[in-house]
Amino acid sequence: MKLPNFLRNYFIGRHTGKVSAHYDTYNKTYQTYLGDVIQGSRTVDEKDLLRYLGQNMQLKSGQKLIDAGSGFGGPALFFAENYGVSIDALTINEEQRAITQTKIAEQNLSSKVTVRQGDFHFLSNYFPAQTYDGIYFFESFCHAYHYEQVLREAYKVLKPGGFVYIKDYLVNESLNGLTENRFAEILENINQFYKFKFTAQQNSPTGMRTMLSKAGFETEIIQPVSYTHDNFEKVSGFHTATQHNEDNYIAGNLPDVFKVVGMYEVRGVKR
């Protein structure tokens, strides 16, 4: 049964409040271990990662983009400075918004980058329709409560032919040697710590393709990222630093975690 809009929005708000609270708790720890680019999957040099993403998004000077789930603003500032694009950034967390605003001023990029606090489930409340060349989600789409709504909202604000690019964890379509119960247990613990709503079907590569199509996008790519992962010491350091939190089951279980989820890049074009 389809929920009424007011009830669905209530559940969305309750979930995204938990996401923001997660970052209120861990913002300083994220900054310590991951810097201004809150992405657990990364190259040795984060600039190599950002160049990889800029190339695969096919960024061009003059494009207007949305950074959906912008964190501390590292990617948006890098792209504005190095690719000549302008970016409207959106984060659910007020502390992240304030930090990003300070960095925009420090780097004299106020003509290229804006930031506001808001929920990407409701992009069309903040941004005008059919205005943007692209919208990207870097390890932020995973925080959605209603993934299809987020994609429908992305569709509204993009120009015809505009792109959505998602670099994020998806649930692997193989058990990778785990039992079904162990696979489900790990997925549930990932959801609990990071405030995800992953299911094995919806958040798989096949499920992502289906959601994109329903929202009006033609899928160009869904594939594992091709850069070399060398981030485990940073991810392990982050989780070791948060072990005092009784919900953090992930510390010490990273090998099995990566049997359950993998890092993918997804690109869809508005039909």
Rounded to whole angstroms, the Cα distance separating 227 from 237 reads 21
Residue ranges and CATH numbers for the domains of the chain are 5-270 (3.40.50.150)
> In which residue are the tokens 């695969």 written?
56
Decide if pLDDT at 239 tops 90: no
What are the strands of the beta sheet with 132-138, ordered from one edge? Answer: 113-117, 86-91, 64-68, 132-138, 158-171, 261-270, 217-224
Residue 238's pLDDT band (cuts 50, 70, 90): confident
pLDDT single digits (tens) 114-123: 999 999 999 9
Query: For 21-35, 57-71, 225-239, which range has the lowest pLDDT when averaged over its residues?
Result: 225-239
Q: Mean pLDDT score of the chain, rounded to an integer?
A: 93
pLDDT at 17: 96
Residue 251's pLDDT band (cuts 50, 70, 90): low
pLDDT at 120: 98
pLDDT at 231: 66
Q: pTM score, two decimals?
A: 0.94
Decide if pLDDT at 247 tops 90: no
pLDDT single digits (tens) 201-232: 999 999 999 999 999 999 999 999 999 876 66
